[in-house]
């Protein structure tokens, strides 16, 4: 018997028929004696429809009013799911973020949760009800509706689980867990039984779309066991938790990749103190996030080549800024490339094993794949390669590290 928070995404509640199926699944858990809180997203496509409505009446919708509009998507879903549960003689009660008092800061469209008052929810659970909460939304100190940004329902679910001291937070989605890599790229990719918070954070930040990164951060901070499951088929899914010292740990848990990369290089920049700040300061001021950075000092010791990567959507703007700044500094040339990708190995097993990077480089070299940039951390090795080699590179690495086999197999 446990207190479980379940989250169902837009695809899982995308039609009345799917909402009925979710109701059946929730009742299964309740019939096993569990207390169940359900967090839901808006029905698939509804948020985009509401954004379209907003743009039809205003080129620049006021953020406060946009949040009022967007929050209605989840409000419809909580009412429909509660109706479906009640029609099956299952006591249920729906709540908006405001009613549960999910307190956030005042950053409309991308608010962050500050606290949750769980008394009302616990009272309903103790009375035998299923509680259905609108994800993605909250209320600020002034009583205004706020939304948490894309994927915010995952964060709502984890925050609720933390506030209620739930035994587990289950994220139901259209995949049955976290895989060693994208099965569409590598058909032999294997579903992981478990993965650590650290590894999942890296995977999420590097391009894995299974979970929203803020939700993983929240779960790790408050030690909320997190499980990814499929809404459409039965299974154990993937448990995300702290590292178990007694568990045999694979060297590599997964391969993440990001297609949305672009690279910029300032060649022949005078080598002087503060060069990185002079080049990247204006880029940061333009709210452009920089990822990987490499600096090479020329043999003459007087100039340096400075390379960094940004999101592909920011490439043109970053290029204009760099050309201006590097020109003022007397750089020889600025070049760029938006046909690159990043491939990353992730695994806490790296901490205690040498040779991971060497194996990675050897596998890529065997396929004739040239590495443009390298970045490492304690549990990650990332490389930038030409876009055309993405799938070949991922497949080669998946095979080189035997990721189609379970640890110890």
Contacts of 131 (CB under 8 A, 6+ apart): 36, 37, 38, 92, 93, 95, 121, 124, 125
Residue 202 pLDDT more than 90?
no
The pLDDT value given to residue 126: 95
Predicted confidence band at 296 (pLDDT cuts at 50, 70, 90)?
confident
Residue 245 pLDDT more than 80?
no
Other residues' Cβ atoms within 10 Å of the Cβ of residue 93? 18
Residue 351 to residue 251: CA distance in whole angstroms: 9
The pLDDT value given to residue 250: 64
The pLDDT value given to residue 317: 95
Q: Looking only at Cα atoms, what is the longest distance across the chain?
A: 80
Residue 299 pLDDT more than 80?
no
**Which range in 111-120, 237-246, 298-307, 400-409 is most confidently predicted, on average pLDDT?**
111-120
Tell the residue number behind the tokens 């959507």, with chain if given.
313
Residue 43 pLDDT more than 90?
yes
DSSP label of 18: H
Residue 385 pLDDT more than 80?
yes
Residue 302 pLDDT more than 90?
no
Predicted confidence band at 244 (pLDDT cuts at 50, 70, 90)?
low
Q: Tell which wins on pLDDT, 232 or 344.
A: 344
- Three-class secondary structure of residue 276 per DSSP: helix
Residue 84 pLDDT more than 90?
yes
Across the range 342-371, mean pLDDT stands at 90
Across the range 378-398, mean pLDDT stands at 95
Tell the residue number behind the tokens 């907003």, with chain if given.
54
Q: What is the pLDDT of residues 314-323, one digit of tens each?
A: 999 999 999 9
The pLDDT value given to residue 59: 92
Across the range 256-267, mean pLDDT stands at 93
Predicted confidence band at 25 (pLDDT cuts at 50, 70, 90)?
very high
The pLDDT value given to residue 248: 52
Residue 408 pLDDT more than 70?
no
Across the range 43-72, mean pLDDT stands at 95
Q: What share of the chain is helix, strand, coil (3-state, %, to 5)?
A: 40, 30, 35
Distances (CA, A) of 251 to 220, 244, 357, 407: 21, 14, 11, 8
The pLDDT value given to residue 207: 65
The pLDDT value given to residue 90: 97
Q: Which helix (H) or strand (E) holds 40?
A: strand 35-40
C-alpha 325: how far from its chain's center? 33
The pLDDT value given to residue 377: 85
Q: What angle do CA 303, 385, 204 make, to 5 degrees?
A: 110
Cα-only R_g, the chain: 24
Predicted confidence band at 143 (pLDDT cuts at 50, 70, 90)?
very high
Q: Tell which wins on pLDDT, 349 or 362.
A: 362
Predicted confidence band at 145 (pLDDT cuts at 50, 70, 90)?
very high
Closest listed residue to residue 283, CA positions, set 320, 330, 312, 313: 320
Residue 127 to residue 325: CA distance in whole angstroms: 64
In three state form, how does the secondary structure of 308-372 look?
Answer: EEEEHHHHHHHHHHHHHHHHHHCCCEEEEEEEEEEEEEECHHHHHCCCHHHHHHHHHHHCCCCCC
Other residues' Cβ atoms within 10 Å of the Cβ of residue 398? 22
Residue 390 pLDDT more than 80?
yes
Residue 112 to residue 195: CA distance in whole angstroms: 26
The pLDDT value given to residue 271: 87
Average pLDDT, the chain: 91
Residue 246 pLDDT more than 60?
no
Other residues' Cβ atoms within 10 Å of the Cβ of residue 161? 28
The pLDDT value given to residue 297: 79
Residue 24 to residue 90: CA distance in whole angstroms: 10
The pLDDT value given to residue 32: 95
40 backbone φψ class: left, alpha, beta (φ>0; ψ -120 to 50): beta
Antiparallel, parallel or unpaired: β 303-311 and 254-270? antiparallel
Predicted confidence band at 214 (pLDDT cuts at 50, 70, 90)?
confident
Predicted confidence band at 251 (pLDDT cuts at 50, 70, 90)?
confident
């Amino acid at each position: 018997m446990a207190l479980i928070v379940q989250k169902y995404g837009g695809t899982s509640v995308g039609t009345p028929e799917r909402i009925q199926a979710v109701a059946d699944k929730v009742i299964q858990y309740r019939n096993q004696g569990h207390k169940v809180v359900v967090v839901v997203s808006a029905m698939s496509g509804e948020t985009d429809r509401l954004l379209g409505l907003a743009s039809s009446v205003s080129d620049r919708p006021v953020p406060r009013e946009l949040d009022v509009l967007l929050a209605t998507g989840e409000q419809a879903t909580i009412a429909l799911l509660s109706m479906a549960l009640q029609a099956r003689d299952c006591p249920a009660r729906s709540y908006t973020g405001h009613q549960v008092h999910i307190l956030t800061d005042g950053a409309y469209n991308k608010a962050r949760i500050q606290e949750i008052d769980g008394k009302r929810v616990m009272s309903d659970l103790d009375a035998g009800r299923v509680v259905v909460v609108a994800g993605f939304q909250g209320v600020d100190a002034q009583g205004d509706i706020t939304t948490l940004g894309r994927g915010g329902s995952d964060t709502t679910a984890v925050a609720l689980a933390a506030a209620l001291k739930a035994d587990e937070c289950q994220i139901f989605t259209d995949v049955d867990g976290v895989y060693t890599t994208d099965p569409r790229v590598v058909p032999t990719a294997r579903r992981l039984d478990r993965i650590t918070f650290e590894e999942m954070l890296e995977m999420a930040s590097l391009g894995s779309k299974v979970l929203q990164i803020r939700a993983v951060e929240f779960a790790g901070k408050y030690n909320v066991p997190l499980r990814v499951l499929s809404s459409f088929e039965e299974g154990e899914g993937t448990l995300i938790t702290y590292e178990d010292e007694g568990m045999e740990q694979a060297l590599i848990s997964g391969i993440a990749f990001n297609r949305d990369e672009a690279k910029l290089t300032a060649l022949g920049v005078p080598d002087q103190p503060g060069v990185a700040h002079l080049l990247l300061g204006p880029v940061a001021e333009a709210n452009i996030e920089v990822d990987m950075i490499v600096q090479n000092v020329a043999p003459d010791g007087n100039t340096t080549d400075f390379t960094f990567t940004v999101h592909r959507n920011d490439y043109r703007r970053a290029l204009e800024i760099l050309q201006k700044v590097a020109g003022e500094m007397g750089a020889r040339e600025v070049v760029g490339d938006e046909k690159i990708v990043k491939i990353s190995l992730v695994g806490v097993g790296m901490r205690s094993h040498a040779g991971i990077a060497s194996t990675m480089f050897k596998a890529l070299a065997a396929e004739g794949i040239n590495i443009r940039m390298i970045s490492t951390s304690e549990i990650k090795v990332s490389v930038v390669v030409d876009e055309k080699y993405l799938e070949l590179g991922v497949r080669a690495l998946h095979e080189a590290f035997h990721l189609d086999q379970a640890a110890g197999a």
